[in-house]
Structure 1
């Protein structure tokens, strides 16, 4: 039976029983702020959550005092700087959990394996296991790149509504990395359509000449994540792609299951 305390927003599940209600509500408000772009007014939070304004005001005062929310001069509220440290630590932990799965990718494909997240408008690499070949690709963990010239960027944005993709590209621009870089929004949207049809993304020399990358999203990840392999175009050929993609997809599914299990145990 539905609880009488269920929120008015169908997209948000009712709070689980057995928890501390004020904590559940505070975290729900933080997630709603993130969904709204990081800055909201109390009336907006009340409308989306179904909670009365006095309750929201009390919770927000506590979050402000702790540094997780900041009150703006216009009386609206934004996510606070203390969340950055939590996010960075969580990203590192996600990368740690992913490493055994990336190691499996290296064993089965022979190429360098990466994990990347979508952080705002940028792609950030959170884990890597290098290939054992003497000629191999290397991307520093923590490196940030723009989505339009990477396989992981395409994998992460493949199911994002076109108007949101266009808005992101307008904010970041589409600088040319190589002669193969996609430099128009229409060209990038067409590439995303190819990703949806094929079930995987390709970066064919678009970020670095002579480097080919194959990427897939991690299904149901707690934050948008993708895994990839990268190597010289002479090794990551079309024939090799047919063998590598099923391995990538299987490892992504297994990693997804492991992340869900970690979340349940938490």
Structure 2
């Protein structure tokens, strides 16, 4: 395994490919061993051979892409944990992609637990700040497409009542203002979400608080907004995890 990895790493350094003898010399492997490993790696799709030269194959490129995604995810996890500790509330990160609301990461602590997902976040975007914030960033056609698939329905007594009411609310939202909801998704909880737009991607950071601390909601989300402003570059690189 270690010898195969050494070969892969060596091939990766040669953008224009390398022959077996050169790879054997650079890795310090015996030529017969190098040939055997190269044949195996080509068969498994980790390498490809073209006119006597070896290049990284599709399987290796997929592995590399997976590693890059994991690194970006780690960046987001670290940022959320830092902000959670700084402001003392649960922090959520979500994106809208391929027609779905996707909560990618939640950072909470025993003293500040996150909202329990008791109703599918994807199907109840009309009821929580995360979903409303993401929908507010879509164009009219995309919003209506989403609501055709996931129509508004009451989740709590405070939930918006129907599609037209939700669309009117979204139209009234200023572009970069926090989106606030009070007990619309979960009784006893208030939430606020901040829109993030990087290129064509819609994303949001959000926080939640117990309803008896509702007076803290706007000052806290404004503090998160300031914290994000200092580190938005790091988050922007992670928008597609």
| TM-score normalized with structure 2 length | 0.61
Contact in 2 for aligned 1:219/1:253 (Cα 8 Å): no
Q: Does 96-105 or 190-199 show the bigger shift?
A: 190-199
Q: 1:103 aligns with which of 81, 91, 102?
A: 81
What is the match of residue 187 of structure 2?
Answer: 209
Q: In the alignment, what sits opposite 1:246?
A: 222
1:176 equivalent among 154, 173, 176: 154
Tell me if 1:145 matches 2:122: yes
What secondary structure, in the 3-state scheme, does the structure 2 residue paired with 1:145 have? coil
* Residues paired across the two proteins, number: 179
Distance verdict in 2 for CA 1:159–1:219, change over 3 Å: closer
What is the rounded CA distance, in whole Å, between the counterparts of 1:208 and 1:90 in structure 2?
A: 35
SS at match of 1:192: helix
SS in 2 for 1:234: helix
Q: Distance in 2 between matches of 1:139 and 1:257?
A: 30
Inter-CA distance 184–244: structure 2 relative to 1 (3 Å threshold)? same
The structure showing larger relative contact order (alpha-carbon pairs under 8 Å, at least 6 residues apart) is: 2
The one-character-per-residue Cα deviations of 1:160-217 (angstroms, maximum 9, x if unpaired) are: 2223312220122223211111232221123223432670111211111111111112
Structure 2 vs 1, CA of residues 192 and 156 (structure 1 numbering), >3 Å: closer, same or farther? same
Asked if the contact 1:117/1:126 (under 8 Å) is kept, the reply is: yes
Pairing 1:34-113 to 2, within 5 Å after superposition: 94-113=72-91
- In 1, the alpha carbon distance for the partners of 2:198 and 2:223 equals 18
Structure 2: distance between partners of 1:86 and 1:168 = 33
Cα offset for 1:159?
Answer: 2.9
Structure 2 residue matching 1:148: 3-state secondary structure? coil
C-alpha distance in 2 between matches for 1:210 and 1:87: 41
1:186 is aligned, of 160, 164, 171, to 164
Spell out, residue by residue over 1:62-84, the C-alpha distance to the aligned partner (whole angstroms, 9 max, x if none). xxxx8xxxxxxxxxxxxxxxx9x
The structure-2 alpha-carbon separation of the partners of 1:212 and 1:94, relative to structure 1 and needing over 3 Å to count, comes to farther
Distance of 1:149 and 1:86 partners within structure 2? 38
Q: 1:249 to 1:119 in 2, by over 3 A?
A: same
Shift of 1:250: 2.2
Cα deviations across residues 85-133 of structure 1 (Å, max 9, x unaligned)? 9999877654422122212332233211111111333322111111452
Whether the 8 Å CA contact 1:130–1:136 is kept in 2: the answer is yes
Structure 1 unaligned residues grouped into runs of 5+: 1-18, 21-65, 67-82
- The 1:208/1:256 distance shift into structure 2, 3 A limit, reads same
Name the counterpart of 1:256: 232
Unaligned runs of 5+ in 2: 1-14, 17-57
Give me the CA root mean square deviation.
3.5
Instruction: State the match for 1:136 in structure 2.
Output: 113
